Amino acid sequence: MITPEDLIALVRNYNPKTNADKIAEAFAYGEEMHHGQFRHSGERYFSHPVAVAALLTEQRLDDATIITALLHDTIEDTKASYEEVAARFGDEVAELVDGVTKLTNLQLSSRETKQAENFRKLFMAMSKDLRVILVKLADRLHNMRTIKAMRPEKQAQKARETMDIYAPLAGRMGMQWMREELEDLAFKVLNPEGRQSIIRRFVTLQRETGDVIHRITGDMRTELDKAGIEAEVFGRAKKPYSIWRKMQAKDQGFSRLSDIYGFRVITQCEEDSYRALGCIHQRWRAVPGRFKDYISQPKSNGYRSIHTTVSGRDGKRVEVQIRTRQMHDVAETGVAAHWSYRDGVRSQNPFAVDPAKWIASLTEQFDAEEDHDEFLEAVKLEMYSDQVFCFTPKGDVTKLPKGATPIDFAYAIHTRIGHACVGAKIDGIRVPLWTRIRNGQSVEVITAEGQSPQVSWLEIATTGKARTAIRRALREADRARFVKLGRELARSAFEHVERKATDKALETAARALRIDTVNELLAQLGAAEITTHDVVQAVYPELTLQEGEVVSPRRAVIGLEAGQSFERAPCCQPLPGERIIGITYRGRGVVVHAADCDRLVSFESQPERWMDVHWHSGTHAAAYGVSLELTIGNDAGVLGRICTLIGEKKANISNLEFSDRKPDFYRLMINVELRDVEQLHSLMLTLEAESDVAEVARFREKPETRQISG
């Protein structure tokens, strides 16, 4: 544990005017209050508050925040009181300590409390003084760094809470470095096998290519020096979780990712940033579609930087970020830039924005939302979102989260435009409403009188604003339809357990779920606000799936009509865990497609055939075939090792067919039977980590090209 003198020296590095006596007093008081207390690791407990305070000095925070870190557990875990802390250290520190204590007591992952309501309280606490959340984030970071001393079940709980709440919150506050470390520490607990496979792949890559970072950094410095641009250049490998997330999002293997390495160029002024961009693009080939200018269009948390991806040495793609020193300070510290000191005075950074405005706008936006779970969903969507910038036909810029669709764009313009949307054009070309908008595109919304929101839009929309508006409109305008749909869903669900959805059974379910009337129960069921599992379990808990019970394939899809059967579309081979759309066929039942299947475009003009269906939320049997395309080395024993790896992942090989044989490699198609999409991703990652596997991809059929006569 560091000494009070060491801590004061850390503060004096950026704030020579610090009140050293008051920090020393807080150190002594905290040490006295925590005397005799120990952590799970056996260390003295006070070592934890001291470590939290030291973390906050890295962000150059004020004395009050450092003292709060030293005392943040005293009111909760010792005989210290609010009044005593206020008398010794002032009302400001006492309020901050009390705020951190309240955050700690929220128990955001507790099953006994409404997580959404706790989120509301968290935002309220943050809005009073943002330094509260800075201390709490540093507290969580140190706890995650030392999590090994906890019981395994406690580790998993803390890791999930960190991944769901604290990591995205840190990112939204602009503290990207903290978000990345929190995510990676949680990833290490939740999926150690996946993380190790990424690390092994990195080691193999470095052995094959050498020190790529050192070489490319040197090349960039040379080019910038030639152009007379004074700048610093840094390179790094991405965190394992960051790579894992990109692999999941893009459904690509490790070897196909373009941004495993990242480089930063820190310039003296904004003009030099653009000169550096030109210099890099002259030396290396820019990758189309991978350029973002967050200097001219900053993110809402104040982040400014130029992002580009170029083909570097040996054809390797690398991501480059270019920004000024002041922009870099905001990018590294985020909200902490408001409280940071330099040379004894509060630093004035022109690029720092007030995150309190984001909290206020977010709370206001969803304050009227009646359903707390919808509030929670919307908050998480807001926190996880990155941004794209698109244009209206008049040239006005609209900010949307990454992955947004024309539906989100329409509601961003005005709720009335969203409700009346019937189609969209992107860059002048008619596109389906589920199309993902990319940076720089021009979007035009096509509207029609009499149009109203569709249930399927909830699967298409990604922004909290759009989803909230759609749900509200559906509740108000389509209550009768929801009641009818809910009755059908209830009948089908009760038939699954060989019972009837009688009025008496539904009345019993409504009472058990504390819903006023049967019609309200059916309306909520039809609007997907409650699940059929909830309703059936309320009446017949002994007949619903028990923990550990496997979902039968015939019961795997929810939302089918009575007597309807389903089959998986061979073109996209959807798996449990993926978003799905049902297409009806006469005499064939329902064919289930993945929501992103290219073949759905051919059904766009037949909306009456679309069905809103989803997979059962339970554990599925390993009965769903998926085709994988592999390219492997032509060496003895390689195929055997591949088959062994597949078996170790609890997947069954149903067919194996070679498509190409060359002296140095084989191409083959392997059909495997899997439980869900998570097992697929885990299997593909394991195969990618095998050094003799050059490429592995999920097979998807492409729609046939059709000639359209004019």
Within 13 Å and on the Cβ side, how many CA atoms surround 412? 23
Contact status, residue 597 vs residue 583, Cβ threshold 8 Å = no
* 478 is annotated as an active-site residue: no
Which residues have CB under 8 Å from 358's CB, separation 6+?
172, 300, 301
- Within 397-466, strands assigned E span 397-401, 421-426, 429-431, 443-447
The residue annotated as part of the active site, out of 77, 92, 180, 604, is: 77
Contact status, residue 306 vs residue 273, Cβ threshold 8 Å = yes
Describe the chain by its helix, strand, coil percentages, rounded to 5.
Answer: 50, 15, 35
Residue 83: exposure state from Cβ atoms within 10 A (0-12, 13-18, ≥19): exposed
In angstroms, the CA 131 to CA 346 distance is 15
Residue 50: exposure state from Cβ atoms within 10 A (0-12, 13-18, ≥19): buried
In the block, residue with structure tokens 């709440």? 165
* 76 is annotated as an active-site residue: yes
Closest CA to 443 of 453, 428, 433: 428
| Distance between first and last Cα of the chain | 79
The residue annotated as part of the active site, out of 25, 43, 58, 76, is: 76
In angstroms, the CA 540 to CA 543 distance is 5
Q: Dihedrals φ, ψ of 14, to 5°?
A: -120, -15
Q: Dihedrals φ, ψ of 696, to 5°?
A: -140, 135
> In the beta sheet, which residues pair with residue 399?
389
Torsion sign over Cα 295, 299, 304, 306: negative
Closest CA to 642 of 698, 690, 685, 680: 690
In angstroms, the CA 40 to CA 150 distance is 6
For 313, the token pair is 């040495």
Q: Would you name the residues annotated as active-site residues?
A: 76-77
